[in-house]
Structure 1
Amino acid sequence: MIRAVLLAGAAVAATLCSGHAAVLVPVPPVPDSTVTTLYGLNDSFQIVGSYIGADDGIEHAFFGYMTGDYYPFDAGSGGTQARAINNKQDIVGFTNSQGGNTSNQPIFEMYANSKIHVLNGIFGRAQGIDNEKGRFAGTRWDFNNHQAVAFKGEHAHYRKDVRIPEVHQASEANGINSAGVVVGDYFRPPLHGFIGSGNKLQTVDYPSDQSSGTAMEGINDAGQAVGQWTDQNGNAHSFLLDIASSTFTDITVPGASNVYAWNINTQGAVAVSSDAGSFIWCKKKSACPAGGIVVSAPEHRARR
């Protein structure tokens, strides 16, 4: 049986809790870039993402630090995105990011020695990697059924699909923690987030009547996950979810119309991109690097 964390609709309502504040730390832009997008971070605040080169217009991946020291790399042609990094400095992502789609984007894993391995015969995306066993979460294109399928991989190899008992048309696996718990989304429609798999799968929908879809993007080892929801106007919003209490904390960026939370480290620091720049967001100041500003962080708790 599927156990829902929070299902939007008549059965569940949300209580707006007292106001809270969070910390938002800006990520330095990559030199000679027009756009810098943060996707992942580890417990040492080593960061990964991509940038658009000012001279060539190509999307390049980067590994770097919050000091502004960056090490660009390309894992293939057509643009590269580095989507996640673990504490061992293993990085996963995909190529052909600018002109491709799920069916023709090679998936790669890069180890701390900078050696890049491309998955054999699997196309799609890898977006999360755990700290213990090097397992990663991804989305592959099923050429037989012509749909996107959530899967788990390990050491640059496909291992198995994520079992989603709900009837659905497509699925994505976006994050994984050290216990092997996967988060992602499935499309029925609409788009629903999920945590876990099989009989332990939990469906997650952001508690708002303005939501047209929810996706879970990252999960840590401390019972926290991050995700995104889309409003009726097509704007993206993001949240931190405390899984045990079903409490959603809004991730806000002043001046941004679209906010995307991608990954979360053990301390609760979140990799965020937006149309106002990229940031590290933390609910607790002690979890963030220095140099941040205070932003609002409304909480919404499930009420049945």
Structure 2
Amino acid sequence: MRTKRNITAAMTLGLILIIPGLANAAFTFTPIDAPGSVATFANANSTDAIAGEYDDENGNTHGFILKNGAYTVIDVLGAAGYSSVNGINANGHITGTYLDGSPSHTFHAYFYNNSVLTTLDPPGSNRSEGGFLNEQDQTVGTYRDSSDKRHGFFWDKGVYATGNVPPAFDTIAFGINDRGQIVGDYVDTEGKRHGFLLSNGTYTTLDVPGATLTVAEGINNAGQIVGLYIDADKHQHGFMLENGVYTTVDVPDSSASAIYSINAQGEIVGFYEDANGVAHGYIGTPGR
């Protein structure tokens, strides 16, 4: 459900277009491949754990947590072949998406606090997707209404706020930090997809220079934003935005790259496709 498989709070106003320069970044990359996987996606990281999802050879998708070198498989009880983990915080609490076992096979967002799983279906939704969460367990995600239009949502201890980037056709919320800043993407009235930052009630549009599509996926407390973009040649790249400068991040020898999360130490996680089109998760450690 996450924007991963090769691209495929009262909220107010004001769009600001950022057009900074484009640079290149140096990271040390370590692949992440869950045991028994045919494809792995690292969707989230805290300072001591990585979380995501993987596909097995039978076509089922499982969530996972990787901590101290050990994998823990996350399958939501009663899920019908699909569970993902899209967010993890320092307390080990997680968020994600699962497919229920009902005849309609509906996707639902969820929050799990190590003992209780809470399904997150905002009022008026017919399906939902979980994004990231912060240290206060505030969670963001996306839902579709009865007309199939997507809206972002914010959930805090049972209370929902929903909103859209004005005047967007679709809005998707992916990341949140401890300051309550939210990132994601939206589709404008002409059908083009842009990233966005929501901070103190103001929306800022994020477009990587030269990109035909930009998606903001994660944000840390320092305000570093990560995501992915498509260039004019239809190639997918990861990016980081810091102090007004966009940095391209590509895993070496990959045919496509994406960044989904950045932690307080500046470590990034995401996925890349190798020369054979196989998806692998990774962690990227910044050069010092």
After TM superposition, the score normalised by the length of structure 1 is: 0.79
Task: Give structure 2 stretches of 5+ with no counterpart.
Answer: 1-12, 275-279
Displacement of 1:146: 2.6
- 2:16 is matched with 4
Over 3 Å counting, the alpha-carbon distance change for 1:233 and 1:16 in structure 2 is closer
- 1:295 is matched with none
- 1:149 is matched with 151
- 2:29 is matched with 24
Counterpart residue type for residue 137 of structure 1 = V
For residue 131 of structure 2, the aligned residue among 127, 133, 140 is 127
SS of equivalent to 2:212? strand
Give 1:10-159 correspondences, 5 Å limit.
Answer: 15=21, 20-27=25-32, 29-44=33-48, 46-54=49-57, 56-65=58-67, 67=69, 69-75=70-76, 76-96=79-99, 104-113=106-115, 115-120=116-121, 122=125, 123-131=127-135, 133-143=136-146, 145-155=147-157, 157=158, 159=160
Counterpart residue type for residue 170 of structure 2 = A
Q: Deviations over 1:263-288 (max 9, x none)?
A: 11111111110113211123335xxx
Over 3 Å counting, the alpha-carbon distance change for 1:142 and 1:159 in structure 2 is same
Give 1:287-302 correspondences, 5 Å limit.
Answer: none
- 1:201 is matched with 203
Measured in 1, the distance between the counterparts of 2:201 and 2:239 equals 25
Measured in 1, the distance between the counterparts of 2:21 and 2:184 equals 25
Measured in 2, the distance between the counterparts of 1:163 and 1:203 equals 13
Query: How many pairs were matched up?
Result: 262
- 2:253 is matched with 255
Measured in 2, the distance between the counterparts of 1:182 and 1:117 equals 21
Measured in 2, the distance between the counterparts of 1:49 and 1:199 equals 30
Over 3 Å counting, the alpha-carbon distance change for 1:142 and 1:198 in structure 2 is farther
Displacement of 1:138: 0.4
Counterpart residue type for residue 263 of structure 1 = S
Displacement of 1:109: 1.2
Counterpart residue type for residue 172 of structure 1 = I
SS of equivalent to 1:87? coil
Counterpart residue type for residue 249 of structure 1 = T
Displacement of 1:150: 0.8
- Report if the CA contact (8 A) 1:5-1:246 is conserved: no
Counterpart residue type for residue 248 of structure 2 = D
Task: Give structure 1 stretches of 5+ with no counterpart.
Answer: 8-13, 286-304
Displacement of 1:142: 1.3
Measured in 2, the distance between the counterparts of 1:73 and 1:124 equals 18
- 2:4 is matched with none
Give 1:223-234 correspondences, 5 Å limit.
Answer: 223-234=223-234
Measured in 2, the distance between the counterparts of 1:66 and 1:239 equals 27
Measured in 2, the distance between the counterparts of 1:271 and 1:41 equals 7
Displacement of 1:212: 1.2
Displacement of 1:233: 4.3
Counterpart residue type for residue 265 of structure 1 = N
Measured in 1, the distance between the counterparts of 2:93 and 2:44 equals 11
SS of equivalent to 2:35? coil
